[in-house]
Amino acid sequence: MGFWFWAVLILLLVVGLVALLFGLVPLKTPADWRRLPFLLLAAVLLLAMALVAGWMEAAPPQAGAPGAAPLPGGEDMEIRPLIGRLEAALKDRPDDAEGWRMLGWSRFQLADYAGAAAAYQKAAALQPTIAAHASAEGEALAMAAGGTITPDARRAFERARVLDAADVRARYYLALAREQAGDAGGAIADWQALLADAPAEAEWAAELRVMLAEKAAQYGVATDLPGSDLPGPDIATAEAVAALPAGEQQAMIARMVDGLDARLKANPQDLQGWERLIRARLVQGETQKAADAHARAKAAFAGQPDALQRLDAAAAR
């Protein structure tokens, strides 16, 4: 109910109470006096209910509560009402680039990737110098295609790189495009460069590091990132591995790791080789073999504190 309804109701109750208290309402019989306490109690209760209802209607809704205005980035936001309000507002303000960006973000959260791409495209057209609009459009296009970097998505990412060479999203997906085109070595090199440029506080860096280790293991590509090394095939070898069926890929990678192990038995003073072997075993999930390699390496470098520290670091990673 509206504010004025409650205001009039409260006013009438107050007037009634005043009339009773000051004798403006006649109390002629004993029965009238006996009913007076109940009338007063009912009036007070109605007054209290009116005040509470009025306060509840006037109070601003809290974030996350039903009917509250959603806050972008909040954990309990209601996205669908936000989309409806944004769409209605953009009919009146079609040149609102920030509104289109928020609409794209909202649709993306609901997995409406085609709708998100269309909204981001509007934002990019209105603000063509902002790289984030273009890379967000590309991501939505890729997601709409099931993760495939389509030509339209690639063009959006390339526009973003022209505007901002450091755009993380564009760099990540352009590397993915290289992998999908068959250039696994180039993709891994690009992801490795992206990770090397990551700020220390970047939350996405840990996920990228894990993915990079998995890709290195999948394709048999050596990297210089701690925790993701495999014995060093060159890019041509990596591409040959990538062309094999999945089962044969893993078998070839395993043979390369075993070959490194055999070489270290013949030349146990290769410290870098031991580090790579330990890491490769860990990437492959062969924890017992990694522990065995660690023990043999420490025996080979007994009495050399610096070498032992590096071996322990490789095992800890």
Composition of the chain by helix, strand, coil, percent to 5: 70, 0, 30
In a domain, 51, yes or no: no
Neighbours of 129 (CB within 10 A): 9
Whether residue 128 lies inside any domain: the answer is yes
DSSP single-letter state for residue 69: P
Question: Is 229 contained in some domain?
Answer: no
In tens digits, the chain (317 residues) has pLDDT values of 444 455 555 655 665 655 555 454 555 555 555 555 655 565 566 555 555 444 444 333 333 222 333 333 343 356 788 888 889 999 999 999 999 999 999 899 888 999 999 999 999 999 999 999 999 999 999 999 999 999 999 999 999 999 999 999 999 999 999 999 988 888 888 888 898 888 877 778 877 887 887 787 777 766 655 444 444 444 445 555 555 555 565 666 677 777 778 888 888 888 877 888 887 787 777 888 888 988 999 998 988 888 888 888 777 75
We report the CATH number of the domain holding residue 118 as 1.25.40.10
Distance (Å, whole) CA 72 – CA 153? 25
CA 133 to chain centre: 17
Q: Is residue 96 one of the residues assigned to a domain?
A: yes
Residue 299 domain flag = no
Residues 6+ positions from 311 with CB-CB distance below 8 Å: 271, 274, 275, 278, 294, 297, 298, 301
Q: What is the dihedral of CA 178, 184, 185, 190, to 10 degrees?
A: 40
Q: Which of 177, 103, 166, 102 is nearest to 139 (CA)?
A: 177
Nearest to 256 by CA among 237, 235, 271: 237
Burial class (CB in 10 A: 0-12, 13-18, 19+), 177: buried
Give the range of the structural domain holding residue 122, as residue numbers without chain letter.
78-181
* pTM, to two decimals: 0.50
162 within some domain: yes
Q: How many structural domains does the chain have?
A: 1
Question: Is residue 132 in a domain?
Answer: yes
With a CB cutoff of 8 Å and minimum separation 6, the contacts of 63 are 69, 70, 71, 74, 76, 77
Which residue's entry shows tokens 């003073």?
269
Q: Would 250 be classed as within a structural domain?
A: no
Q: What residues have CB less than 8 Å from 256, skipping those under 6 apart? A: 220, 230, 231, 233
